[in-house]
Amino acid sequence: MCGIVGYVGHSAGRVNTGHNALDVVLEGLRRLEYRGYDSAGIAVVADGTISSRKKSGKLSNLIAELDASPLPESLTGIGHTRWATHGGPTDQNAHPHLADEGKLAVIHNGIIENFAELKLELTRKGVTFLSETDTEVAAALLADIYRNQLGGDSANGGLTKAMQLACQRLEGAFTLLAVHADQPDVVVAARRNSPLVVGLGDGENFLGSDVSGFIDYTRRAVELGQDQIVTITADTVEITDFYGAPAEGKEYHVNWDPASAEKGGFPSFMEKEIHDQPDAVLQTLLGRSDINGRLTLDELRVDPELLKNVSKIIVLACGTSAYAGQVAKYAIERWCRIPTEVELSHEFRYRDPIVDENTLIVSISQSGETMDTLMAVRYAKEQGAKTVSICNTNGSTIPRESDAVLYTHAGPEIAVASTKAFLAQITAAYLLGLYLAQLRGNKFQGEIKDILADLNKIPAKIQQVLDNEEQIKELGRSMADAKSVLFLGRHVGFPVAMEGALKLKELAYIHAEGFAAGELKHGPIALIEEGQPVFVVVPSPRGRDSLHAKVVSNIQEVRARGARTIVIAEEGDEAVKAYAEHVFYIPETPTLLAPLLSTVPLQIFALALASAKGYDVDQPRNLAKSVTVE
């Protein structure tokens, strides 16, 4: 959840053509602030000492502190932006944490599960703790090993050896970065169940929670494996396991540039990312089929015979990704005739689920680091299931640990509330469902080709919705005083309704709920009173088994009880006009693909309402982009 950055430029004694560590780290933290913004801090090594500043609140507070009390120029530094877990968001609990009489600085992402017993042990040795964090315990342990076990001697392995020994004692999920005044040109880092990537420069090297932390300086990156330690200097990158055995990372090229992580002229990242959605869907579709409409998912390196024998699919995800999974369920069951369940990752492995070698686990995670989902995937693999990941972040942990991956190509998503990643996830899930149908012969090739043709029309249709966004924005601004908004949908409209409610909760901090419209008479209709806003996602009146008439009846039911009805309907649907105060039309499209369009007005509405209330739509309170602890 926290954002971390590390940097080493040209070492002492060489011509200084590197960057000031403070500048590099602050720019990295600015790009990573979406991972947490309860506090921020930085430490640099200069003149044989550690100099550090940290401040609660957003990064701007730290920058003001640095303006008032500058740090010395340095070629080695680490920085952190925090999403609080252990200890509240205070100056004292902010990272870095110092140890070894101020000569060691440590930053951390994750949770040290055995911190209490380690803290007791260190307290008995005379260590005094100044914060409530588990991170300070890790720093004190590292210092104790470095000074008392290794004698503070770099000939004994120095900070790298101390990190190896410390990690052998730590339990939980963590990424740790450390610098020491005795080794001014070194940053040492470790990862277990938490993200960390290396950036390779020319006479300088970098560390980050993800590549956004150093994308301004290099696009060469190295992904680290589980339980690995990396030591970087200006010219070297050395990787070992926790026991000192040499290890290797996997180098890859970052295929997006710094401009992709900027706002592009929009007032917020979220608004930019809503407008990125036509391209996000298009890029996810590109290169996935041949001229005959036959799917060629080269990333799915799983024996086709195993996929043919799948008897059950379980989709694992959390939050918005879980709603993408709910949409996927409708499509996969229709196209493949395979029973499909959608499970919240954090509930899955605690209920003794029935999983075997004929079960296909499909995990969905934008970051690829969602801890609940990662642990659920690991559990499923232990039970013998095959695992496929749908992910937006190349080289992240969940894809690496899955049997296969289907990457979305939405580009970096900076706003905490997901938009373009959600549509890209649904698109990827459709491709997976069609691929399984192709392998298993559930659909003729011509049928698959026709569905792909409809999918390829979606980006232009999303753009049509965006071109007419002003009327949705106007409604959102006019409803800034709303205390509660309800959302109704049926079939694939049901997860869309839940996603619409989630966006409003995340951004505007008001009560919002999404219901299956058929549940109205089973209780929720009691919530309807005069003036209650109700969004209704209306299915197409075309096609077999249309639920259109039933949902129109639901609109009438809530309107008769005083509800303010707001309808998302397909172009040409005149039947809804008589019962709706507001109608927003989306282009015609097959029912199963409709969520790629009907979601967009709900995103725009939530954005406009929250902006009208004066809230930060990119960094909602109490939330972080990637949930990397259970």
Strands across the sheet containing 39-46: 49-56, 39-46, 76-82, 3-8, 205-208, 197-200, 220-223, 250-253
Q: What six digits make up the tokens of 32? A: 């990573």
| Distance (Å, whole) CA 158 – CA 149 | 11
What is the number of other CB atoms lying within 10 angstroms of the CB of residue 396?
25
Contact 4, 628 (CB under 8 A): no
| Distance (Å, whole) CA 295 – CA 196 | 33
| Distance (Å, whole) CA 591 – CA 537 | 12
Q: What is the largest CA-CA distance in the chain?
A: 82
Q: What six digits make up the tokens of 50? A: 């550690």
Residue 587 three-state SS: coil
Question: Cis before residue 96, ω within 30 degrees of 0?
Answer: yes
Contact 67, 114 (CB under 8 A): no
As a 3-state breakdown, the chain gives helix, strand, coil percent values, each rounded to 5, of 40, 25, 35
- Listed in sequence order, the DSSP H helices in 109-201 are 115-124, 134-144, 158-167
The residues that are catalytic are 2, 625
Give ∠ CA 36-37-39 in degrees, rounded to 5: 115
Contact 361, 388 (CB under 8 A): yes
